[in-house]
Homo-oligomer: A and B are copies of this chain.
């Protein structure tokens, strides 16, 4: 594939990404993509032969960008508590739809397609996040900022809560207060000198 092709493919993926953000996954048709990209019907099929294929590419791209997000937070000179706070802040922004996101499309996609665990992006991201949180908590415990007897369990609990919140946000909407409340709850659990 030529350099130009690569560029165009990237352009399509990025344009499509916007559409998926806006309309979710299931509603998007090849026609939508074609129109948004201002290319011909056949032209699109040169690169992707279904919205599924296209969305999977969007996902792949997303993943590449995503990996460093966490690292950015961590490499900074900050206490575990600060990093955690930052992490929650970031999550909160997304939960409240302050920044447009693929969230809804991603869930629709995974509802519509049974993806085996091995390649399941959702699972991978979840597990990765649990791993980072666990380390963060352990570091906090070490420094006596946190108190926690089961860091991995706690990390998982946090992630499931966040997933629950995300779903709530997409299916009913959620108030800032509600998000804060949940974040406070898990934070307090860590800080509590019990």
| Cα of A71 to Cα of B108 in the assembled complex, Å | 33
A170 and B120 within 8 A (CB) = no
Return the contact of A157 from the options B126, B159, B161, B172 (Cβ within 8 A).
B161
Chain A positions 148 through 173: 1 when the CB is less than 8 Å from some CB of chain B, otherwise 0: 00100110110111111101101111
CB distance from A107 to the nearest CB of B (A): 6
A104 at the interface (CB under 8 A from B): yes
| Cα of A108 to Cα of B171 in the assembled complex, Å | 9
B153 and A122 within 8 A (CB) = no
Q: Given A107-B111, A112-B26, A153–B171 Cβ distance below 8 Å?
A: no
> Which of the segments A61-69, A72-80, A181-189 contacts the partner chain?
A181-189
Q: Which residues A122-178 have CB closer than 8 A to chain B?
A: 122-123, 126, 150, 153-154, 156-157, 159-165, 167-168, 170-173
B107 and A185 within 8 A (CB) = no
CB distance from A179 to the nearest CB of B (A): 11
